[in-house]
Amino acid sequence: MSDDSIAIIGGTGDLGYGLALRWATAGRKVFIGSRSAERASKSASEIQAAAGADSQVQGMANVDAIQNAWIVVIAVPFLAQAETLASIKEKLRTGQTVVICTVPLEVAVGGAATRTLGLWAGSASEQAARTLPDTVHVVAAFQNVSAHAVQELSGTVDCDVIVCGDEAEVRARLKPWVEAIPSCRYVDGGKLENARIVESLTAFLIGVNRRMKVPASGIRITGIGSAR
């Protein structure tokens, strides 16, 4: 396990695949996790073909992927979050950072993608923190990043990435990973409880995409410079 490696659980899905593609292209070591090791390996091969022969990306089962990196990204739909976390939580190592990208969109229960579900925990990220052991750190990030944008290597990702978590030092661990994606800017989002606000913006952006007939609207926060 090294600081330049990352594991992506749900790396065969739209957002996870796109993030893996961007980080592999940036020269980072990427371990794609999936319930199916075969599917993960197939996605890894596709990403390597797009990112270049020298890119370092491997596909494997979820429980194997999380053994290879200090940062573990959870990029699964809300409906799959509880089951996914339950399947890996006993294998997580003390000190690992778990990044929750999940948004509780109403579509998970047959509703609209432009609305979010009300959760007792407050957000999908806070719900994850209640599920996972206290020996790992939980942060929320990448909820507002368009899966379409990160998959298009010919373009930049015009979006700030708001990172929420209860420890400033842990939040800052995501900064180099955010900045490895062209045009993305790291924004310190404060405590994990703020994730409920950030998650709701995703539903708003989906509505913007539909009204404006665009594939990849994003969030930019003004007046804070470039070093936050």
**Per-residue model confidence as pLDDT tens digits over 71-88:** 999 999 999 999 999 999
Q: What is the residue-averaged pLDDT of the chain? A: 94
Query: Helix 124-131 crosses helix 78-88 at what angle (to 10 degrees)?
Result: 20
Residue tagged 């047959």 (tokens): 110
The rounded distance, in Å, linking the Cα atoms of 57 and 116 is: 33
The rounded distance, in Å, linking the Cα atoms of 200 and 195 is: 8
What is the total count of domains within the chain? 1
Whether 183 is covered by a domain: the verdict is yes
- The percent of residues above 90 in pLDDT, for the chain, comes to 87
Whether 159 is covered by a domain: the verdict is yes
The 10 Å Cβ neighbour count of residue 147 is 19
Radius of gyration of the chain (CA): 16
Whether 51 is covered by a domain: the verdict is yes
Whether 49 is covered by a domain: the verdict is yes
The rounded distance, in Å, linking the Cα atoms of 71 and 85 is: 15
Q: Which of 27, 35, 37, 33 minimizes the C-alpha distance to 4?
A: 27
Whether 93 is covered by a domain: the verdict is yes
**Per-residue model confidence as pLDDT tens digits over 166-217:** 999 999 999 999 999 999 999 999 999 999 999 999 999 999 999 999 999 9
In this prediction the pTM is 0.94
Residue 67's pLDDT band (cuts 50, 70, 90): very high
Whether 22 is covered by a domain: the verdict is yes
The domain that holds 15 is classified in CATH as 3.40.50.720
The rounded distance, in Å, linking the Cα atoms of 194 and 28 is: 29
Mean per-residue pLDDT, 8-15? 95
**Per-residue model confidence as pLDDT tens digits over 38-48:** 999 999 999 99
The rounded distance, in Å, linking the Cα atoms of 108 and 198 is: 18
Mean per-residue pLDDT, 8-20? 96
Whether 50 is covered by a domain: the verdict is yes
- The percent of residues above 70 in pLDDT, for the chain, comes to 98
Mean per-residue pLDDT, 49-72? 96
Whole-number pLDDT of residue 220? 95
Burial 66-92 (b: 16+ CB within 10 A, else e): bbbbbbbbbbbbbebbeebbeebeeeb
Whether 218 is covered by a domain: the verdict is no
Task: State which residues form the domain around 202.
Answer: 2-212
Mean per-residue pLDDT, 60-71? 97
